[in-house]
Amino acid sequence: MKPLQSDSTVQNNQVAPSSLSRHLQFLGSPAKLHIEHADLQSLATQFGTPLYVYSGAEIRDAFQSYAQACKGLAEVTICYAVKANSNIHILKLLADEGAGFDIVSAGELARIIAAGASPAKAVFAGVGKTVEEITYALNQGVGCFNVESEQEMHRIAEVAEKLGKPAKVSLRVNPDVDAKTHPYISTGLKENKFGISMQLAPRVYAFANAHPFLQVHGIDCHIGSQLTDASPYFDALDRVLALLDQLATQGIHIHHLDLGGGIGIRYRDETPPKPADVLPKLIEKIRHWAAQSGRAMPSLSFEPGRSIVGNAGVLLTQVEFLKQNEDKNFAIVDAAMNDLMRPAMYEAFHGVTPLIIEQDKPSAVYDVVGPVCESGDWLARNRELAVAPGDVLAILSAGAYGQTMASNYNSRGRAAEILIDKGQVRLIRKRETIEDQLRCEQNL
């Protein structure tokens, strides 16, 4: 393979260190990539590829960064966004740390219950809750519904009255604030499908406040994901607090604020804020507002997802072939867009590194692509890599929105998952087989 030159080329030795945490390191000579104590090359040999591997210590550290940022505040809940990574073993780990949960489906509620978490510490968001989902959630004792439309508020009221079980509700308001992120994961603009407009919110609150089977719990605001600038948080909070003042004139008092999540992670060269840089300032702003208005400090919740698990996971994939087409080199691997959708869907960047760094091994510039029958099936572009067929690569920062967005496209089975935690290597999801895929299909 000839080493191609490109202005957009990212050299391996520039990518890997920037994306590694203290729990993901190259050790030894030749340098081998480890998560905590575990040699990833050995795991790839033992469990096969594609393979997701997660660091329990990294997940705990990330969760505790939120908990410490809220230290001293009695009534605060860190509600992990289950959609980021929903493996029940990771949910149990976080429940044991004291997490609540942000869910968007009955399936995610069932997962946290299976993990041993309390439904009372779950907030149920999402724009399209069905009657069946609302019924299931009320019967399980879900903590609160984050309501996203006037029609949904009426539906919850009808189900709650039919069951004879009052429902706690918060409105997810849309503050029309630009989160300055990818348009697919921006949720706080008026053209987005999420939330209720500030103008409509007072009317919906008035309905909920008057209904005998609805209990107004609070207000929710989430403006997007992978935020690298903290200023939109404060713009959104200003608008939420102004709405609370308006509601108070109607005799509606809000005692809980859910300020969402969205703090980003480092995939390449981003410099996202840390929870300690943002949360204390948000809390102080709310304290000042409460003191100025003569109200008690409300209870708070935050909904981080990606920033808890994103940099805790890698996707291991084996190089099958090295191929050259005219002016392009391809490293064809056994993982694909069905395993990690983010590059194809968002043109997202993930760091890539061989598991073993051999100093004298020749390198070339490659697109890392999978075997799926789509030109969009790529995991990385224009990367300088020293690789040969049979080598295993780590796709970095793959702990969030990897397995949860995986599919069976091309009838490919989903990858296995490994959790490294407290000195143990545990298989937390078996590799999916074709028999697993066929199980739900009817025999004609």
Residue 246 belongs to domain with CATH number: 3.20.20.10
Q: Which of 374, 406, 268, 391 is nearest to 331 (CA)?
A: 391
- Using omega within 30 degrees of 0 as the cis cutoff, is the peptide bond preceding 212 cis? no
Residues 375 and 329 in one domain: yes
- Asked whether residue 68 carries a pLDDT value surpassing 90, the answer given is yes
Alpha-helical segments (H) within 70-197: 88-96, 106-114, 131-140, 150-163
Cβ pair 358, 401 in contact under 8 A: no
The pLDDT tens digits for 394-420 are: 999 999 999 999 999 999 999 999 999
Cβ pair 234, 285 in contact under 8 A: yes
230-244 burial string, b = 16+ CB within 10 Å, else e?
bebbebbbebbbebb
* 102 lies in some domain: no
Residues 348 and 272 in one domain: no
372 phi and psi angles, rounded to 5 deg: -65, 145
Residues 288 and 329 in one domain: no
Residue ranges for the known binding site for substrate are 306, 342, 346, 374, 401
Write the CA distances from 110 to 50, 125, 180, 327, integer angstroms: 27, 15, 33, 50
- Asked whether residue 8 carries a pLDDT value surpassing 80, the answer given is no
CATH of the domain at 365: 2.40.37.10
- Using omega within 30 degrees of 0 as the cis cutoff, is the peptide bond preceding 30 cis? yes
Q: Domain ends where: 264, 288, 304?
A: 304
Q: Domain ends where: 269, 287, 304?
A: 304
Residue ranges for the known binding site for pyridoxal 5'-phosphate are 262, 303-306, 401
- Where does 121-224 show beta strands of DSSP type E? 122-124, 144-147, 167-174, 196-197, 214-220
Structure tokens at 77: 């809940």
- Mean per-residue pLDDT for 145-155? 96
* 1 lies in some domain: no
pLDDT band at 227 (very low <50, low <70, confident <90, very high): confident
DSSP calls for 278-337: HHHHHHHHHHHHHHHHT-PPPEEEE---HHHHGGGEEEEEEEEEEEEETTEEEEEES--T
Q: Which of 128, 125, 117, 70 is nearest to 94 (CA)?
A: 117
- 339 vs 19, higher pLDDT: 339
46 phi and psi angles, rounded to 5 deg: -75, -45
Cβ pair 217, 169 in contact under 8 A: yes
Residues 297 and 355 in one domain: no
Cβ pair 53, 418 in contact under 8 A: yes
Residues 407 and 392 in one domain: yes
Residues 295 and 148 in one domain: yes
Q: Domain ends where: 276, 304, 332?
A: 304
Residues 375 and 240 in one domain: no
3-class DSSP assignment, residue 374: coil
Write the CA distances from 297 to 76, 191, 193, 289, integer angstroms: 11, 32, 31, 9
* 333 lies in some domain: yes
pLDDT band at 111 (very low <50, low <70, confident <90, very high): very high
Predicted pLDDT of residue 15: 43
Provide the number of structural domains found in the chain. 2
* 191 lies in some domain: yes
Q: Give the residue carrying structure tokens 């009657």.
A: 131
Cβ pair 35, 22 in contact under 8 A: no
The pLDDT tens digits for 112-137 are: 999 999 999 999 999 999 999 999 99
Dist CA 372 CA 390 (whole Å)? 19
Structure tokens at 390: 């049979």
* 349 lies in some domain: yes
Residues 132 and 279 in one domain: yes
Structure tokens at 328: 């392009």
* 79 lies in some domain: no
Residue ranges for the known binding site are 262, 303-306, 342, 346, 374, 401
* 26 lies in some domain: yes
Residues across the chain: 444
Residues 137 and 253 in one domain: yes
Point out the least confidently predicted range of 96-110, 262-276, 361-375: 262-276
Predicted pLDDT of residue 184: 39
* 94 lies in some domain: no
Query: How many other C-beta atoms lie within 10 A of the C-beta of residue 358?
Result: 13
Residues 204 and 230 in one domain: yes
- Asked whether residue 189 carries a pLDDT value surpassing 50, the answer given is no
Residues 200 and 251 in one domain: yes
Catalytic residue numbers read 373
Residues 169 and 124 in one domain: yes
Residue 213 belongs to domain spanning: 118-304
Region at 397 (left for phi over 0; alpha for psi -120 to 50; beta for the rest) = left
Q: Which of 105, 107, 116, 231 is nearest to 178 (CA)?
A: 231
